[in-house]
Structure 1
Amino acid sequence: MNRVPRFLLRHRVSVEPYLGDSAYGKQYGPPVADVPALVAETVGQVRTPDGREVTSTAQVIADPGLVCPPGSRLTLPSGRTTTALSVAHHTAPGLPVPACTEVICE
């Protein structure tokens, strides 16, 4: 699998994977620090998996193996903590384009 070149992943983010809800609120897995990524803090409209239209304030591109289900908490290079709205795993087997994980954040 052709991956996004490491030299393009100039930022570092921290990811706390969303595990689900419990009687005490949202539950997160242990934080994974220093994840190489390319972060664009731009504003845009996106549709969440449940069909709501919301405003996105950041887009994160990372290696294809990133474990970051929707609802996960991310700490961006600016220090801002945000929540993953949607996650897309981009692959193109047999084509000369890199595979990556794209996380759209609120």
Structure 2
Amino acid sequence: MVRRVPGRLLRHRIAVEPYLGDSAYGPRFGPQAADVPALVAAAHKQVADKDGRTVTATAQVIAAPDLDCPPGSRITLPGGRTTTALTVNEHTAPGLPVPASTEVMCG
């Protein structure tokens, strides 16, 4: 059984607009999921974006493992700043007593 990151640790609330792809008019986003529990931390870390370019992430978001947030999604952080999901990693450790979570690095 995969355990989830405990909700009591996800003290912040974010909004996520999942990236659906590009259209002739620019990027398309799905309906906004508001009030998503998360843990948000300032971070300055070099990551490779979805196109393989090295970019600097400025925020790290930890959320439940079922977060719908593909790279390119728009995220509104607790302070109101809107940012973009650069990388999305799902962390699991089947058989080990550690919780599953989703980590999003934002630009």
Q: CA RMSD in A?
A: 0.8
Q: Deviations over 1:47-102 (max 9, x none)?
A: 22332110100000000000100000000001000000010011111100000000
Identity %: 71
Q: TM-score, normalised by structure 1?
A: 0.97
Q: 2:91 matched to 1:90?
A: yes
One-letter identity of the residue aligned with 1:72: S
Q: Answer yes or no: is 1:14 the counterpart of 2:18.
A: no
Equivalenced residue count is: 106
Q: Shift of the alpha carbon at 1:12?
A: 0.2
> In 1, Cα distance between the equivalents of 2:43 and 2:80?
16
Supply the AA of the counterpart residue of 2:54.
E
Q: Using the alignment, how far apart are the partners of 1:29 and 1:46 within structure 2?
A: 25
What are the superposed Cα offsets for residues 10-68 of structure 1, whole Å, 9 maximum, x if unpaired?
A: 00000000000001111000100000000002212112233211010000000000010
Residue 62 (structure 1) aligns with: 63
Alpha-carbon distance between aligned partners in 2 of 1:66 and 1:51, rounded to the nearest angstrom: 23
Question: Structure 1: how far apart are the matches of 2:89 and 2:76?
Answer: 19
Distance in 1 (CA, whole Å) between partners of 2:73 and 2:23 is 15
